[in-house]
């Protein structure tokens, strides 16, 4: 009787630990982020960072960060539309406001083309 009771209790505890571990692992959520680098754009000596979900502006040379961010509401084959109504034509690079008036033509640049400080703290 003792052997049967100990065998059943060991079996019960081992399966309960397995099920508890399975529930714990399945309840945790993981998020995946794209490993793509952002696209850097230039428009009339202003610099922008375009990611899959936002466009950042007002580049700070000293901190090497962008200050303001605006959310992208739709990202299609031909246009990128922002939450405030502006559009970027992906074929020509033309940036227009919500009335359709052209703001500027965006030009793609690399991260090394962003402005940098020299050793004295002045711009190149």
Identify the pLDDT of residue 120.
67
Note down pLDDT in tens along the chain; length 124 residues.
778 878 888 888 888 888 888 888 777 766 555 557 888 999 888 899 988 888 898 888 878 888 898 888 888 888 999 888 889 998 998 999 889 899 899 999 988 888 887 766 655 5
Instruction: For residue 57, tell me if it sits in a domain.
Output: yes
pTM of the prediction? 0.63
Backbone CA torsion sign across 42, 43, 47, 51: negative
Burial 90-106 (b: 16+ CB within 10 A, else e): eeeeebbeeeeeeeeeb
Q: Say if 46 falls within a structural domain.
A: yes
The number of folded domains in the chain is: 1
Burial 29-62 (b: 16+ CB within 10 A, else e): eeeeeeeeeebbbbeeeebbbbeeebbbeebeee
Residue at 23 is within a domain: no
Residue 71 lies in a domain: yes
- Domain region containing 71: 39-113
Q: Which pLDDT does position 94 carry in this prediction? A: 92
In a domain, 124, yes or no: no
């Amino acid at each position: 009787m003792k052997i049967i009771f100990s065998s059943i209790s060991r079996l019960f505890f081992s399966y309960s630990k397995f099920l508890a571990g399975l529930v714990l692992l399945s309840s945790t959520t993981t998020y995946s982020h794209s490993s793509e680098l952002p696209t850097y754009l230039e428009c009339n000596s202003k610099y922008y960072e375009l990611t899959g979900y936002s466009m950042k502006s007002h580049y700070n040379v000293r901190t090497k960060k962008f200050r303001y961010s605006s959310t992208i509401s739709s990202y299609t084959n031909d246009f990128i539309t922002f939450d405030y109504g502006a559009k970027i034509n992906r074929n020509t690079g033309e940036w227009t406001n919500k009335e359709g008036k052209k703001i500027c033509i965006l030009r793609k640049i690399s991260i090394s083309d962003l402005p940098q400080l020299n050793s004295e703290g002045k711009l190149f």
